[in-house]
Amino acid sequence: MKSFKAFWVFSCIFHHAFFLKVDGAESFVPALYVFGDSSVDAGNNNNLHTHAKANVPPYGIDFNNNATGRFTNGKTFADLIAIKLGLPLQPPYLGISDSKRYQVITGINYASGACGILNDTRDGECLSLDKQIEYFTSTMVNDLPKHKHLKSKDELKHHLSKSIYLISIGSNDYFLNYLNPQIRSYKNMNPEEFADYLLEQLSSKIKTIYNLGARKFVVGTVNQVGCSPNLYCNETINQMVKPCSDKLLMKVQEMEKQFSGSMFVSANGFNFFNKIKNDPKKYGE
């Protein structure tokens, strides 16, 4: 019940923002491209040398009892969006053979667990956001133009501009980096300063995706790291993370103004989790 209500709230916002009415008909979304961490990883880490994998039980017990590499018992946030759009679930980039990548035109998942916005955020081998964007660039330059429906520049431009780009990343930049006592790279920054720095880095990377032809973005906030995973929440840690969540809405509004023709939705998981904590019965305790 909890996950359904969370998705229902988001889907209302999502539908309003992205399904533009033209003569009474909804516009077509050809693809969903996914960037992020374990919150949306669909199995890329299965193909990497890392202990951060989710390809064993009990992961996937509600996904046809199949541990696909998703860090959840069932579907991810990205999967639910794909279903809402009427698209097939996006396959993990590293799980598609080179010879077949050109055939996939409904979107690809580049997300990788245990990575972050910053290149020095990682736990073992993973795909940094820069690496994910590098793979997306390869998709755009080398794979999509081979498809019979995307051979012309205009067809490819239309595909990229009408597709949706989901970005759900940043929690590991706190959990594995800023809050890690063994890493001192950012200890001179207070939480407000680190949030500003992190969002500037994120904005720069989103601009790269925009310059490749993307126009429609869904950007998720950093989640409540102090509650993951445990029986109780560490509110001191949550308060250190909160500035990043609070500032994201302003940042996406800023990007929408700067990036001509773009459209952004901020998916605030941090605040929604607060609602669940404060009134668990309402959301199916």
Q: What are the pLDDT digits (tens) for 20-65?
A: 433 444 448 999 999 999 999 999 999 999 999 999 999 999 999 9
pLDDT tens profile 157-188: 999 999 999 999 999 999 999 999 999 899 99
Q: What is the separation of C-alpha 256 from the centre of its chain, rounded to a whole number of angstroms?
A: 18
Q: Quick check: 173 and 116 in contact, CB under 8 A?
A: yes
pTM for this entry = 0.90
C-alpha distances (whole Å) from 154 to each of 144, 145, 151 are: 13, 11, 9
Q: Residue 216, SS3?
A: strand
Q: Residue 60, SS3?
A: coil
Domains of the chain by start residue, with CATH: 2-283 (3.40.50)
State how far the Cα of 166 lies from the Cα of 88, in Å rounded to an integer.
Answer: 15
